[in-house]
Amino acid sequence: MPGPARHATIDALRGFAVMGILLMNIADFALPSGAYFNPLAGGGTRPVDLAAWAISFVLVDGKMRAIFSVLFGASTLIVVKRAEAAGLSATRIHFARMATLGVFGAAHLFLVWPGDILLHYALVGTLALPFVGFEPRQQLKIAMLLLCAQLVVVASFFASFVALRHAASLPDATASTLAAWHGFADGIGVGRVQDVAAEIAVARGPWRGFIAHNLVAQAAGPPFLLAFDGLETLAFMLIGMAALRSGFLTGGWSRTHYLRAAAIGFAIGLPPTIGLCWLSFASGFDTIATFAAATLGGLPFRPILGLAEAALALAWLSGGASHTRLEAVGRAAFSNYLGTSVAMTLLFDGWGLALFDRIERIWLCPIVAATWLAMLAWSPAWLRRFRYGPLEWAWRSLARGHPQPMRVDAIATLSQ
pLDDT for 412? 45
d(CA 282, CA 274): 12
For 118-172, how does the pLDDT look when each residue is reduced to its tens digit (9 = 90+)?
A: 999 999 999 999 999 999 999 999 999 999 999 999 999 889 989 998 999 998 8
**Torsion of Cα atoms, 341 then 343 then 349 then 352, to 10°:** 150
For 175-231, how does the pLDDT look when each residue is reduced to its tens digit (9 = 90+)?
A: 889 888 888 887 788 888 888 999 999 999 999 999 999 999 888 889 999 999 999
pLDDT for 3? 39
Residues of the chain with pLDDT under 50: 1-4, 411-416
pLDDT for 2? 37
Which residues does 29 contact at the CB level (< 8 Å), separation at least 6? 113, 115, 341, 344, 345, 347, 348
d(CA 236, CA 140): 9
**Torsion of Cα atoms, 320 then 324 then 326 then 327, to 10°:** 100
CA-angle at 114, arms to 19 and 219, nearest 5°: 145
